[in-house]
Every structure is written in structure tokens, then in C-alpha cells.
Amino acid sequence: MEWLERTKLLLGESSVDLLCHSRIIVIGVGGVGAYAAEMLCRSGIGDITLVDADTIKESNINRQLPATTKTLGLNKTTEMAKRLQEINPDANITPIIKFIEADSIEELFADNKFDYVIDAIDSISPKVALITYCIKHQIPIVSSMGAGGRIDPSQIKYADISKTFECPLAKTMRDRLKKEGIYKGLPVVFSTEPVNKSSILEVFDERNKRSTLGTVSYLPAVFGCYLAAHVIKNLTK
């Protein structure tokens, strides 16, 4: 594929061939997950599964890749699948329109062997359930912590979940994962920038969420790029 020639110059032909034969699942196709999925697609990943049941809202336009005035009300997963298929028509892009719940995770993985899982879920309970399942079944996973309430991309880092700090979501995840017997072994992307507390807004109509944070266009995108980079580096060594 000629469009991957620049990538081959950097990573090598054998690495790109490996990416073309890799299967990745991205769970959560919002401000973070959609960018992760697109970076994977543009890197030549040949099989991408997208999981999310949410629809595109006007409030998503400031940061989410598939969100435009023409896609309002449409499903994020379906729109991203169309976009990725237009980038690489040869790729196998599978949209799954559903919210992840603890009792549906085993079914999701039962007939599918993925080389990597990207967790871009922004709700605690399904996030904990997914991570717990992957770690206990030795499925490679990288997880996004909180991208909201921040503006400085230079403070985004990689770390094991046990080494995170200044991230309220990461603290909650550490506490919840300890109850599952998991203290370390989860690579995450997080920010060391303190959350701007004035950007916190209580919500009462969103699934599994009690509050939401102000966001800026580029911060979730950089989180998504970090997630994709982690997967690509680990697949190609």
C-alpha cells in the first residue's frame, strides 16, 4: 500500500506488515478514543473494532473527531467506522453499538482474539470491569485516565497505574482495582496537571456519571495519540 510508504521508512517494512495483521479493539469512541482509533488506522492497523453506544451531541463538537453539525444525533461508533474505512478501504473495521457492562465483557472477548485493548471509557464501573477482565486473562491493555479539566499537553505522561498522581480518576481507579486484587501492571496515560476545579459540572442525565469536566479541543486528542503510540510501539518493539 503506497500510502504507508512514509511509515515504512520510519518503522521498517516488517513492522508495518505486522501492524497490518494486528487486531485492536478501542472501547469508548469519544474525545480520546476516536483519535486513538484514527491514529491506529493511519498507521496501518488492519483490524479495528470500535465499541460505544453514545450518539453525537452538540457539546461534542469542541473536541470529538466525528462530531460536526452534520453528524448530530448519529452514533459515534458508526460515524468513526465510516471515517476509518474511507482512510483504509482494505481494513476490517467493526462497529459495535453498545455500552460495556460487567456482564457483557466476557461475551465481547469470547469469540475474538485481540492483540491489544485500548480503554477510553469515561465511566468508572465499566472501566474497572474491563481492566479487571483483561488483566486476569492476560490480554494487553492500555488505559486512559482523565483528560478533562486540563489545558497543558506537556504534562501528559505514561506510567503504571500504581505510579499515577494528581489525577482524581486514577486515584479512584487505584482504589477500585485494589478491591479486585490489582495493585499494578496496568499501563496508563495520565496528566500531572491539577484539575481546574472551576470546570467541574454536576450531571444528572448521563450514564454512570455524576459530574463532567470542561474540555479543550487538543487535550483529549493528545491522550488518544499517546494511547495509539503505546500500542504501536509495543506491537513493533
- What is the predicted pLDDT for the residue at 201? 73
All structural domains of the chain with their residue ranges: 2-236
Q: Strand 23-27 relative to strand 47-51: parallel, antiparallel, unpaired?
A: parallel
Q: How far apart are CA 130 and CA 120, in angstroms?
A: 11
Name the more confident of 226 and 202: 226
Of 23, 228, 233, 33, the C-alpha closest to 127 is: 33
Percent of residues, the chain, with pLDDT higher than 90: 89
Buried b (16+ CB within 10 A) or exposed e, 119-154: bbbbeeebbbbbbbbbbeeebbbbbbbbbbbbeebe
Please state whether beta strands 116-119 and 141-144 pair in parallel, antiparallel, or not at all (unpaired): parallel
Phi and psi, residue 51, nearest 5°: -125, 120
Q: At 6, is the pLDDT very low, low, confident or very high (cuts 50, 70, 90)?
A: very high
* Homologous superfamily (CATH) for 2-236: NAD(P)-binding Rossmann-like Domain (3.40.50.720)
Residue 22 — pLDDT band, cuts 50, 70, 90? very high
Is the model's pTM score more than 0.85?
yes
DSSP tally for the chain: helices H, then strands E: 8, 9
**pLDDT for the residue numbered 205:** 56
Q: How far is CA 182 from the centre of its chain?
A: 20
Mean pLDDT computed over every residue of the chain: 95
The predicted-structure confidence for 100-144, as pLDDT tens digits, reads as follows 999 999 999 998 899 999 999 999 999 999 999 999 999 999 999
Block residue for cell numbers 489545558: 151
Dist. CA 114–CA 7, nearest whole Å = 23
Name the pLDDT band for 82 (thresholds 50, 70, 90). Answer: very high
pLDDT tens figures, 178-191: 999 999 999 999 99
Say if residue 86 is exposed, middle or buried (CB neighbours under 10 Å; 0-12, 13-18, 19+): exposed
pLDDT in tens, 220-235: 999 999 999 999 999 9
